[in-house]
Structure 1
Amino acid sequence: MVDSISYNLARRAILERTIPSYSAIVCKDGSTVWAEDASGKTIASGEAGVDDASVIQNAINSLESGNVMRLKAGVYKLSEGLQIQKGVHIVGEGYKSDKDHNLGAVIEYEGAGVALDFGGSDQFYCGGGAQNITLRNPSTTKQGTGIRFQRVALLRLEHVRVQNFKTGVEIAGCWEPYVSDIQVAECGDSASSSPAMKVAAMGDTSADQTNNAHLINLHFGGCEYIALSIETNCYRLTFKGITAEIQYCIGIKNLAHDVDFTNLEIYGGNPCLQLGDSGVHTHRVKISSGTLYGKEDANVVRVINLFDSSLSNLVIMPVGGHGIDGGNLYRVAFNGIIIRSTKDATDKAGFYLENGRQINVVGSHIKDVFSRAIYAYNINGLAITGCTFEECAKQTGHYTVHLESCYNAIVEGNTFYSSLADYPVRAVYAKNPTNVKVTNNILYGYLGSNPISFAGTITDSKVAGNIGYTTENSGVATFSGDGATTQFSIAHGLVSTPTKVLVTPMTADAASDFYVTADDTNIYINYKSAPPSGTDNLKFSWYAEV
């Protein structure tokens, strides 16, 4: 019979024992690799560096959906890729941040297939994922895929490094994936059109979509072709915190719908960001916050066939290319965009927009663009409001805002400024405008001789209320008659000879028979006979408009 003290000690040991946080664990030493279950029973074993793949695969095959397989810290060399089809989680040990220089569990694979292949193309799987793992291809030849998810619901991919694969990460046909803190280095391949990271669908039906995804803190370095490609038939995706220092490839290419990007830092892109493509309509994309620094002579942002979307609070740094190059845009808003050009380039604009409807450029700041700050062609419903333009349009004959064959457009409440005498403000040029209003803007600093100009066929268009470019004026003028003078002049202060002049006498002596003429400086009141003498006896109200 066990005494009470021994019984209680034994019971306490059972109750307080550490329960393993895994269903299987894979370990290796200098010569052996082995897998065991949570009770310590061996699942498989073999020669380290030779049998790593088969031992890990046997451990995976022994598990059920929702189970965890842990990888002890070390380098595991795969002779073939691993298949994970039961919703299994693979968790590495010893993974730390870069500053600790500790990669923890490392999987090396240099084949043409997939190192970690979750799910499959034939049915849907639930759960599973990978955490705290480094995947790398040790070969000098870039090939294969690091990690792939196909038809997996509720997957989790966290704290994973992927290096030197044609495609580092692929997520296809997945529902509600959660991806966080991923580093993708030296992936992507131009020759095979392989992006470094791809989010895609498995087909055209709703069951084939990747949707309701959350991807946070994605980091790309030294990638080719496309760093992050989001393909068609994907919906409701959220990206937060994307950084990329890339080798002159496309930073982000998005063809999906209902996508929200926040906090982008992309350097060296060609372009940094592409929304839409030829023959593909992309809907409801929102970009907010970030810095985009393009490759030299490349356009920084490309938007084409884009609908019901917005870009806001972005700093865009073109180095010889367009800041934003857009075509076929419908109901697209650009809010709070800062564009600062760092290289003088002819015929390269801050915004280059062709064809579309209902486009707003609001509250933006554009500086040092050698050519036009905004070029717009064949836009119906364009609003450029509350923007600041500094020292743009230095190219001979160019204007800061150039509108060509635009309809129902307003340029209102903007500020145009130049501190350079050799490059004075040339604010707005409109060719063949229809219902175009240039109103209530401020022009200051050095001004060109004709800072606002309309040309071609002008229909229902107007320039009015602009400070620094006065096109209408009014006032009251008072003169003293001397009985001999028949002409009195009023300086109208307009930019050119007014086409409309109204002069109304306000005193009896002023109401004699007269007619009015004007030139580019004055309004002239011409009497047929001199009005009578008197002090301030001739008083007129006047209005003039170019």
Structure 2
Amino acid sequence: MCGRLQKVRERMLDAISYLLAKKGVSLAEEAKKKPSAFYSVIVRKDAGVWAEDADGNTIASGEAGVDDVAVIQSGINHIASLGGGILLLSANTFTFSDKVSINCDYISIIGAGRGKTVINGDPGTDKPYFELVNDTTTPRKFITIADFTIDGSDRPSTGTQFSAAIWDEGDGDISYLIIENMEIINSNPYAGCIQFENSSGSLNNVLIRNCYLETIHHSCYGLAFRKPTTYAFIINNKIIMDHSDSYNNLALYQDISHAFVAGNILISSGGHTPLAVSPGSYVNVIGNIVKASSDSGEGGIEVEWKSGHGTETSHHVNVIGNVVRNGNWGIYITRRDTSQPFPYRVNIIGNVVENCAVGVYADGGTDIIISHNNVVNNTTSMSLSGLSNAIIEGNLGYVNKNGGTATFSGDGTTTQFSIAHGLVPTPTKVQVTPLTADAAGDFYVTADATNIYINYLSPPASGVDNVQVWWEGEV
């Protein structure tokens, strides 16, 4: 068998040698050839700035710090002419004086790593650093942005309209977008980190993961979906808002659907609720750590309806296994106006909420499950009203169902016996079942926020432990 394989190998080498010989190339010469680069274009910088293709040919060049944007844009345009490719930003600092337009498909713009490749400078008032260019006749697809830092310290201190560091406001469609391993810091007013802004068009199949986003001024978002989005994966990001009048760390607006939000750390200094599903459907919010907003009407994680954010209320939302702390409402369900129904089919399960004014808050909703949450160490553990077809059970710090055996000794004159029910509010359902003959007289039951009262029409007979009942109370 070994001899056969050796003969096959020799024949293959002979065939390759023959083909190369016809071209006048030997195997030894072929082996000396420089391996092709993995990128289509690389942008380099020292005293000057230039872009070269995979063969080392210069595509564009200019003065460092002056022509950085023009050279990078030339590299993107070259990739567009190829039908796609990889633009590599080398380990340098590139200073922007205008925005870069991502105007093609099948492109990856990648750096040498966060802190190694740095974008800074001032792209201009109300301009992003990178803009995803699209419209109704020019959709975009298969775009990756990864592995570099954008430092917005040099942007104007004021702005007039939203314009995040990575920005889309086109009315076209964007599909298969990846933004990963990015650092975007020091974003200024109206100039957040990543934002998709248009109620027209759509986003489809978006992955944002392993990014560090931090804003230091008011009126901006960390990561905002303000464009209809389907199939979004937001995983393992850290988003910090350092201003007390900031907007959401993570805004899931405009009828976002089929979104998976997991493993993120969201830190608020006030302002809007860090994680907002407003409105969204078929959304899983799982295993995030949230420092909540303490502002009135805000909190940590919200599931809501709000006009201007979409066309229908939130529904089919899971909020599971999150940690929320130090805010007004920890996790909450609400609507901001009456033009749509309250959210429905929302599950709030297995979360830890502490040091909030209210651990879990709801002022309406249908088909709601709130169970097995740890809501100890809040001013009010839960405030629930207006819920229909709801299951509220097993929450630590909020006892809404209790029961047991109560035993009393009759004295022939006492007609009222009290049982401390241990429930947070006054129970709405109470059942008392006599277990002994002396407890079986005619009675009626009342309750308040502390006790259940068994009121006998005639006093039970005297005896020791002769009045025994089973009781159940439920909120």
CA distance in 2, matches of 1:308, 1:231: 21
Instruction: Say which one has the larger Rg.
Output: 1
CA distance in 1, matches of 2:412, 2:65: 104
> In the TM superposition, what is the alpha-carbon distance from 1:184 to its structure 2 partner?
5.7
For residues 116-155 of structure 1, the aligned pairs below 5 Å read 128=54, 130=56, 135-137=61-63, 144-146=70-72, 148-149=74-75
Identity level (%): 24
* TM-score, structure 2 normalization: 0.73
Number of the residue aligned with 2:357: 425
CA distance in 2, matches of 1:257, 1:212: 12
For residues 407-426 of structure 1, the aligned pairs below 5 Å read 407-418=344-355, 425-426=357-358
CA contact (8 A) 1:220 1:227 kept: no
Number of the residue aligned with 1:60: none
CA contact (8 A) 2:429 2:474 kept: yes
CA contact (8 A) 2:354 2:377 kept: yes
CA contact (8 A) 1:172 1:199 kept: no
- Which sections of structure 2, spanning at least 5 residues, go unmatched? 1-26, 156-162, 306-312, 336-341
CA distance in 2, matches of 1:276, 1:172: 24
User: Is the alpha carbon distance of 1:185 and 1:131 closer, same or farther for their aligned partners in structure 2, counting shifts above 3 Å?
Assistant: farther
Tell me if 1:177 matches 2:92: no
User: Is the alpha carbon distance of 1:241 and 1:499 closer, same or farther for their aligned partners in structure 2, counting shifts above 3 Å?
Assistant: same
For residues 138-537 of structure 1, the aligned pairs below 5 Å read 144-146=70-72, 148-149=74-75, 171-172=79-80, 174-182=82-90, 183=92, 185-189=94-98, 194-195=99-100, 198-201=101-104, 210-211=105-106, 213=108, 215-217=110-112, 219-223=117-121, 224=123, 225-232=127-134, 233-246=139-152, 247-248=154-155, 250-253=164-167, 256-269=174-187, 270-275=191-196, 277-297=198-218, 298-304=220-226, 305-320=228-243, 321=246, 322-328=248-254, 329-341=256-268, 343-345=269-271, 348-371=272-295, 372-375=299-302, 376-377=304-305, 378-393=313-328, 400-404=331-335, 405-418=342-355, 425-448=357-380, 451-455=382-386, 458-537=387-466
Give per-residue Cα distances to partners, 1:42-100, cap 9 Å, x unaligned: xxxxxxxxxxxxxxxxxxxxxxxx999xxxxxxxxxxxxxxxxxxx99999xx8xxxxx
User: Is the alpha carbon distance of 1:173 and 1:434 closer, same or farther for their aligned partners in structure 2, counting shifts above 3 Å?
Assistant: farther
> In the TM superposition, what is the alpha-carbon distance from 1:145 to its structure 2 partner?
4.1
* TM-score, structure 1 normalization: 0.64
CA contact (8 A) 2:274 2:292 kept: no
Number of positions where the alignment pairs a residue of Structure 1 with one of Structure 2? 399
CA distance in 2, matches of 1:200, 1:139: 23
CA distance in 2, matches of 1:338, 1:534: 62
CA contact (8 A) 1:327 1:354 kept: yes
CA distance in 2, matches of 1:374, 1:363: 12
What SS does the corresponding residue of 2:432 show, helix, strand or coil? strand
CA distance in 2, matches of 1:178, 1:293: 27
Number of the residue aligned with 1:156: none
> In the TM superposition, what is the alpha-carbon distance from 1:251 to its structure 2 partner?
2.5
Give per-residue Cα distances to partners, 1:135-192, cap 9 Å, x unaligned: 443686988444525786xxxxxxxxxxxxxxxxxx4254451333434612252xxx
CA distance in 2, matches of 1:518, 1:353: 38
Which letter maps to 2:174? A
> In the TM superposition, what is the alpha-carbon distance from 1:472 to its structure 2 partner?
1.5
CA contact (8 A) 2:66 2:95 kept: no
CA distance in 2, matches of 1:217, 1:434: 50
> How large is the RMSD of aligned CA atoms in angstroms?
3.7
User: Is the alpha carbon distance of 1:408 and 1:139 closer, same or farther for their aligned partners in structure 2, counting shifts above 3 Å?
Assistant: closer
What SS does the corresponding residue of 2:96 show, helix, strand or coil? coil
CA distance in 2, matches of 1:446, 1:258: 42
CA distance in 1, matches of 2:239, 2:431: 48
Greater per-residue helix proportion: 2
User: Is the alpha carbon distance of 1:357 and 1:337 closer, same or farther for their aligned partners in structure 2, counting shifts above 3 Å?
Assistant: same
What SS does the corresponding residue of 2:210 show, helix, strand or coil? strand
Which letter maps to 1:310? F
User: Is the alpha carbon distance of 1:283 and 1:496 closer, same or farther for their aligned partners in structure 2, counting shifts above 3 Å?
Assistant: same
What SS does the corresponding residue of 1:535 show, helix, strand or coil? coil
Give per-residue Cα distances to partners, 1:375-398, cap 9 Å, x unaligned: 3222122221111111111xxxx6
- Which sections of structure 1, spanning at least 5 residues, go unmatched? 1-14, 23-65, 69-87, 96-101, 109-114, 119-126, 153-170, 202-209, 419-423
Higher relative contact order (CA 8 A, sep 6+): 2
> In the TM superposition, what is the alpha-carbon distance from 1:338 to its structure 2 partner?
1.1
Which letter maps to 1:527? Y
> In the TM superposition, what is the alpha-carbon distance from 1:523 to its structure 2 partner?
0.9
CA distance in 1, matches of 2:109, 2:201: 24
What SS does the corresponding residue of 1:467 show, helix, strand or coil? coil
Greater per-residue strand proportion: 1
CA distance in 1, matches of 2:416, 2:94: 82
CA distance in 2, matches of 1:416, 1:137: 54
Give per-residue Cα distances to partners, 1:436-477, cap 9 Å, x unaligned: 2322221122423x732325xx43234333221222111111
What SS does the corresponding residue of 2:200 show, helix, strand or coil? coil
What SS does the corresponding residue of 1:344 show, helix, strand or coil? coil
What SS does the corresponding residue of 1:172 show, helix, strand or coil? helix
For residues 87-106 of structure 1, the aligned pairs below 5 Å read 103=46
> In the TM superposition, what is the alpha-carbon distance from 1:310 to its structure 2 partner?
1.1
User: Is the alpha carbon distance of 1:244 and 1:541 closer, same or farther for their aligned partners in structure 2, counting shifts above 3 Å?
Assistant: same
CA distance in 1, matches of 2:28, 2:473: 94
